[in-house]
Structures are given as C-alpha cells and as structure tokens.
Amino acid sequence: MAIRDSKSPNTYWYQSGVTREDRENMNRHRGIIVWFTGLSASGKSTIAHAVEKELHDKGVRTIVLDGDNVRYGLCGDLGFTDCDRSENLRRIGHVAKLFLEAGVVVLTAFISPFEEDRSRARRMLDRPEDWLEVYCSCPIEVCVSRDQKGLYRRALNGEIPYFTGVNSPYEPPQNPDVTVDTSKLSVSESVKRIIEAFEKRAFFF
Amino acid sequence: MAIRDSKSPNTYWYQSGVTREDRENMNRHRGIIVWFTGLSASGKSTIAHAVEKELHDKGVRTIVLDGDNVRYGLCGDLGFTDCDRSENLRRIGHVAKLFLEAGVVVLTAFISPFEEDRSRARRMLDRPEDWLEVYCSCPIEVCVSRDQKGLYRRALNGEIPYFTGVNSPYEPPQNPDVTVDTSKLSVSESVKRIIEAFEKRAFFF
C-alpha cells in the first residue's frame, strides 16, 4: 500500500485568527473524534446516529461521517481494495480533524478493518483525549443473519471482492475506549455506554 | 481530465435523524459556502480569515478551508497539474458540503482557476443560495509585486510548473456574487462588502 500522507510542494501554513479553543468556548463543549470500528452490519451507523441524536438534543454540535455517505462524495472515486480502503480512511481522518478544529463532535462509522489505518488517523491528532475508539463487537454469524443490505449473501456468493469478514480480513482493535457487543446490548444501552465515556473526559464546559 | 465524481459500488445512503435545519436552528444562522477565487497573492486567504474573525465575533460557526492548509492533509497527495487541481477542488467541494450540512459557514480560499471546477462544486448544492462566490480581482502585476512567498519569482524563473497566471491559465468567474479589487480596496473594506452580501440573504434567524 503506497498511501502518501505528505504535503503538496510550495505550500505554506496559514494560521487562523480563530482558534479551536475559541470555537469550543462558543460551543460550550469540546470537539472530539468518536471512531467506530466493526464488521458490516455490526451496528456502527445505527449507534453513531443514535449518539448524535442524543448529543444534539443536549445542544452539542455534531456530524456523522458515515462509510456509505462519504462514499457518495469525497471518496466516490475509491473502491474496496486494501489500498483504496486505506486512502478512504486517510481522507476521512483529515476531514474528521478539520471538524475537530471547528469544535465539532465527529462520529465516524467505517468498518476501518486495519489497525494501521486507525492508528494513522489517531496519530494525526495533537491530544490523545481527542480520540474515542468504539468497537462494535458482534459475532460475524449475527452480522450475516442481519445482512440488511444483502451484502453478505452476495459476498458469500463471490459477487463482491474484498468484503470484510468474508474475503478480506478484520483486525479487532487492541485497546478500544469502549466496546459494545451489539449482539447482546440494545442500541440505547450502547449509546448510554458511549455517552458515559464522553462525560468522563470533562466534555462539557 | 478524468475526474470521477461518482459513488463507490455497494453503498447505500443513511439518512441522519438530525437535519441541517435542526443544526441551523441550534446555531441561529444558516450555513453557506463562501467560495473565494483569484490569483495567488490576490488576498483570498487574508480576506477569508478576516471575514471569519468578524463572523465568529458575531457568534457564527465558521471554518476556513485554505488552499495551503488543506494541501498539508486531505490533498497532500496532489500536485498542481490541471488534473490534480480538479481532484483537489472536487474533494474540497465535498468537504465544504459536509460542513454546510453541519450548519457551518465554510470559507474556501483556493485559486480555483477553472470555471468547470467551480461550477461543479456549485452544482452539487441543493439550493443556489448556499453558494456565495467572491472574486478577488487584482492585476497580476500587483500580485507579482506582493509575492509574499517568493512563488511568482520562482515561477517566472521556470522553477514551478503549472503556476496560475504564469504558465497555467486563470479563468475569471463570469457572475461572481461579490467582486473585490484588492489593489484598490483595503482588507476591511473587502470584508464589509462580503458581510453585506451575507446579510442580504437573511442569514441570521
């Protein structure tokens, strides 16, 4: 995988007069990246949107960057080879960081199967507390039985190359901040655990 | 130029429970994309950051997407050929749209020399009033005389390929919403004109 994460030649950094701290003070809460990882149909998008709704109702500025949604636009040129997945997550990491700088709570819901890609996104951040990793742990049999989009069926029929868990690997996170086993917890129980993890970080001013 | 602006295969749109309108109501102002265009050293970044400061002081949620800054991250893999410039602006357009969906005022400060690239970014938006095009008009002789970064000197020496105005074309916008001739107007006068254009669109709730 030859993912270039450098800067273009002949470019210079322009420091904004409005800082992240200024924006967070206006919002009265911190920005943070909540990075969901897990198999397809493990509940990432559903839980991310449910967390967003609860945070929004508390007056928090939020955005969900969703695997499917982003692939309609920013990453619509990419497929699902290992290299394209890495480039997809490289771009997502940078976009998430821009939202973080804007003082927003960014919820990213991507399979993000490779530790290397997740840790690269994490390493870009200035502060460890800017990153909350949520592992949607769910046995693949349960994911296959859900299969809302019929993707597992097609992957198992050999119709989709590079489908995580079928013909492309998934590397579980080693030290996630929160693990939710979505075969056992309800959506609202999962949301509760994630919100508790937020609040431990003195999230609101 | 073969810029693919499609969607990845096997992806499905997930509608968020929190809408752009919800976010704008929380912010008490609309989101909008303010797209600056003009030659290098025409004042785009300076004016964009000055507009941002003034809006922030009024309680507006803002972000500046700056040619130089974005090229440190999201588009750090791209150079300045016509094709790379188009891909750069394709990605920026999508990121700007994500911020717009988050109810944020996005100020983009890129040379964006080609009408085709600007109009593609504009066409992605649902509503014409989401787009405010600001043309930083400035004679190239004035830009060359500023040359804060020494780039014109190097381009004129043949050291930088594809440098807009020297060895790569600039297509002025046909119908910008605001034109500021930065060889005649001060930064604060330029800012004033842009803020006036905002307010004409019933920007605040």
- Show which of residues 116-145 on chain A sit within 8 Å of chain B, judged by CB atoms: 124
Extended beta strands in chain B, E state:
32-37, 62-66, 105-109, 131-137, 178-181
Q: In this predicted model, what pLDDT tens digit does every residue of A167-179 receive, in sequence order? A: 999 999 999 999 9
Judged by a CB distance cut-off of 8 A, whether residue A20 touches chain B is no
Residue B182 has pLDDT above 50, yes or no: yes
Out of A6, A17, A160, closest to residue B76 by CB: A6
pLDDT, averaged across chain A: 90
Tell me, what's the pLDDT at B3?
53
- In angstroms, rounded to a whole number, what is the distance separating the alpha carbons of residues A77 and B38? 28
By three-state DSSP, how is residue A56 classified? helix
For residue A64, what is the nearest residue in chain B, using CA coordinates? B16
pLDDT over 50 at A12, yes or no: no
* Contact list, A19 vs chain B (CB under 8 Å): none
**pLDDT in the model for residue A13:** 42
Q: What is the pLDDT of residue A68?
A: 63
Nearest to A76 among B5, B50, B99 (CB): B5
Condensed to tens digits (0 to 9), the pLDDT of residues A80-134 reads 888 998 999 999 999 999 999 999 999 999 999 999 999 999 999 989 999 999 9
**Is the predicted pLDDT of residue B73 greater than 60, yes or no?**
yes
Q: Pairing between strand B62-66 and B105-109?
A: parallel
> Per DSSP, what are the bridge partners of residue B42?
none
DSSP label at residue A77: T
Question: What is the spatial distance between Cα A39 and Cα A165, in angstroms, rounded to a whole number?
Answer: 7
Q: How far apart are CA B132 and CA B159, in angstroms?
A: 35
Rounded-to-integer distance, Cα A85 and Cα A201, Å: 31
Tell me the pLDDT band of B17, cut-offs 50, 70 and 90: confident
Are A117 and A86 in contact by the 8 Å Cβ rule? The answer is yes
Lowest mean pLDDT among A100-114, A132-146, B63-77, B120-134: B63-77
CB-based contact A79 B9, cutoff 8 Å:
yes
Chain A interface includes B8 (CB < 8 A)? yes
pLDDT of residue B82: 87
Q: Which residue of B has its CA nearest to A160?
A: B10
Short-list A200, A199, A194, CA closest to A35: A194
Give, as one character, the DSSP assignment of residue B128. G
pTM: 0.91
Instruction: Please say if the pLDDT value at position A3 is more than 80.
Output: no
In this prediction, residue B2 carries a pLDDT of 44
Q: How many CB pairs under 8 A join A and B?
A: 159
Position A42: which residue type?
S
Strand partners, A132: A34
* Res B110 pLDDT > 90: yes
Q: Is A18 on the interface with B (CB under 8 A)?
A: yes
Q: Which helix (H) or strand (E) is A106 found in, with range?
A: strand A105-109
Interface contact flag, A98 B65, Cβ < 8 Å: yes
CA–CA separation, A26 vs B56, rounded Å? 9
Q: State residue B14 phi and psi, 5-degree precision.
A: -110, 115
Residues in chain B within 8 Å Cβ distance of A18: 49, 52-53, 56, 62
More confident position, A62 or A204 = A62
Question: Looking at CA atoms only, how far is residue A126 from chain B in angstroms?
Answer: 14
Is the CB of residue B73 less than 8 Å away from at least one CB of chain A? yes
Residue B198 φ/ψ, nearest 5 degrees: -55, -55
pLDDT at residue number A14: 47
Could A14 and B49 be called an inter-chain contact, meaning their C-beta atoms sit closer than 8 Å?
yes
pLDDT tens readout for residues A183-203:
999 999 999 999 999 888 877
- What mean pLDDT do residues A132-146 have? 96
Could you read off the pLDDT of A26-65 as tens digits, one per residue?
999 999 999 999 999 999 999 999 999 999 999 999 999 9
User: Residue B10 and residue B201: Cα distance in Å, rounded?
Assistant: 39
Across the beta sheet with A178-181, what order do the strands follow? A62-66, A105-109, A32-37, A131-137, A178-181
Q: Would you call B80 an interface residue with chain A, using a CB distance cutoff of 8 Å?
A: yes
Partners of A78 on chain B (C-beta within 8 Å) are 8
Supply the ipTM of this predicted assembly.
0.90
State the Cα–Cα distance between residues B28 and B103, nearest whole angstrom.
9
Backbone angles phi, psi at A13, to 5 degrees: -75, 130
Asked if residue B13 has pLDDT above 50, the reply is no
Which pair of structure tokens corresponds to residue A55? 């945070």
Whether B112 is catalytic: yes
Min Cα distance A102 → chain B (Å) is 6
Surface-to-core class of residue B82, CB atoms within 10 Å of its CB (0-12 exposed, 13-18 middle, 19+ buried): middle
| CB A19 within 8 Å of CB A163 | no
Amino acid, single-letter form, for residue B46? T
